[in-house]
């Protein structure tokens, strides 16, 4: 899973980025509305954290521009506690959720997890496919109730596919959701990670669709 943080407070931006990375997500950061708008328009993200009081371009204008461009990425806006009208304006501009400053980082993480689950059509914090279960609260993977140890990249790949299960996902899409903007991306490495994941899972659930990509489906489906 890949997130974008658009927040001009460098300390807060860094704290959010660290908390997300500690939860094994990949994160890009922007510190003004212009850069944030550009990244949100040109990169693939699973959710965006957007402050409203940004330099260069304010957060509402950035959000309205994304929605005009038909960018449907879930957006959580950050607002000052006493600016209730910002919340209304944010929802009207296309926000999916809001959080008032100051906030607890645990709540921010929970709200982001909920956003990406809802965007993928999942209601529960636990997402399963056959014997595989992802606990989104703890970032743990289980097979037949046994926890499977995975590297951060392996976890991100399988987590993304569990959220998108049943859909054929191309190598390019996986790369876009696994690495940040500065990473030297190589879609050929996806095949290596898929092979490692298959070996660790020990079940025939992650299938290669020749010429198209990969699909996660239950055995026998």
Chain segment 15-29, per-residue pLDDT in tens: 999 999 999 899 999
219 has pLDDT over 90: no
Token pair 């910002």 is found at 86
Q: Where are the domains of the chain?
A: 2-119, 126-216
Contacts of 71 (CB under 8 A, 6+ apart): 40, 41
Judged against a pLDDT cut of 90, whether residue 1 lies above it is answered with no
CATH no. of 2-119: 3.40.50.2300
| Reported pTM | 0.85
> 3.40.50.10490, 1.10.10.10, 3.40.50.300, 3.30.70.100: which CATH number matches 126-216?
1.10.10.10
The pLDDT tens digits for 86-119 are 888 999 999 999 999 999 999 999 999 999 999 8
Contacts of 110 (CB under 8 A, 6+ apart): 137
């Amino acid at each position: 899973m890949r997130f974008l943080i658009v927040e001009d407070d460098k300390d807060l931006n860094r704290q959010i980025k660290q908390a997300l990375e500690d939860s094994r997500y990949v994160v890009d950061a922007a510190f003004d509305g212009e850069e944030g708008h550009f990244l949100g328009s040109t990169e693939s993200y699973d959710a965006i954290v957007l402050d409203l009081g940004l330099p260069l371009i304010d957060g509402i204008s950035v959000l309205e521009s994304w929605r005009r461009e038909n960018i449907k990425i879930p957006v959580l806006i950050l607002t000052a506690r006493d600016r209730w009208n910002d919340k209304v304006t944010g929802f009207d501009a296309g926000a999916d959720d809001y959080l008032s400053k100051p906030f607890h980082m645990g709540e921010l993480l929970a709200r982001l997890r909920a956003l990406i689950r809802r965007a993928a059509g999942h209601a529960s914090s636990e997402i399963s496919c056959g014997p595989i279960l992802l606990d989104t609260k703890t970032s743990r993977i289980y097979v037949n109730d046994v926890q499977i140890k995975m590297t951060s990249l392996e976890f991100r790949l399988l987590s993304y596919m569990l959220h998108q299960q049943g859909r054929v996902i191309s190598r390019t899409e996986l790369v876009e959701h696994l690495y940040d903007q500065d990473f030297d991306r190589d879609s050929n490495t996806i095949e290596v990670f898929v092979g490692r994941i298959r070996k660790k899972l020990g079940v025939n659930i992650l299938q290669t669709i020749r010429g198209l990509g990969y699909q996660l489906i239950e055995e026998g489906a």
